[in-house]
Structure 1
Amino acid sequence: MTGTMSAGVAVTAAIDQLRQALGELDHAIDMRFERERDSAELEGEVRRTHADRSRLAQELDQSEFRANRLEEVNREVSRRLVTAMETIRAVLDR
């Protein structure tokens, strides 16, 4: 009977070890999926950051264009004001 009991204990121990190994494997798989999910989230954030950067660069270019255009218009308005003041002076001097 001792041989049968020790064989039963050995089987039980082997089953316990197998359960423990399966639990560890399950945990390792969960960790791998979590890392992959985190990696995918990070990649998505990087893509969104690049898209935001591109959009902001485009908006900056548009703002610089508008600023340059306003500067040109300002110079033209100043030139016309000078011409108008000179014309008024010439009329008043007559």
Structure 2
Amino acid sequence: MTAEKTIHVALSELGSAINSLENAIDMRIERQRESGEVESEVKRVHVDRARLAQELDQSQFRANRLEEVNREVSRRLVTAMETIRAVLDR
């Protein structure tokens, strides 16, 4: 093989290696970008989950409080009805 051919083959292989390296770098950058997007989405999901959990806790507290008030109102109505019956029976 002549020196000129050897240089040509070496330059061709170097060009291929550089192209492969550029492709690998592009793929790595794309994966990092996608990974960053995924991480951002995961963070948003966690924030939403925390907000929804807090809203659920607040709703549960209100529901429990309404249930307590409902029982108290029911108890007072029963007492009032018994008092009215007692007055009417006299």
Q: Does 1:49 align with 2:38?
A: no
Q: Does 1:17 align with 2:8?
A: no
Which structure 1 residue ranges, 4+ long, deviate > 3 Å from structure 2?
none
Return the alpha-carbon distance in structure 1 between the equivalents of residues 32 and 7 of structure 2.
Answer: 37
Aligned sequence identity (%): 69
Aligned residue pair count: 90
Q: Does 1:74 align with 2:64?
A: no
Instruction: Quote how far apart the aligned CAs of 1:56 are.
Output: 1.4
Cα RMSD (Å): 1.4
Rg larger in structure: 1
Which stretches in structure 2 are left out of the alignment for 5+ residues? none
1:60 to 37, 56, 61: 56
Instruction: Quote how far apart the aligned CAs of 1:43 are.
Output: 0.8
1:40 to 36, 52, 56: 36
Which stretches in structure 1 are left out of the alignment for 5+ residues? none
Instruction: Quote how far apart the aligned CAs of 1:82 are.
Output: 0.7
Q: TM-score, normalised by structure 2?
A: 0.90
AA aligned to 1:31 is M
Q: TM-score, normalised by structure 1?
A: 0.87
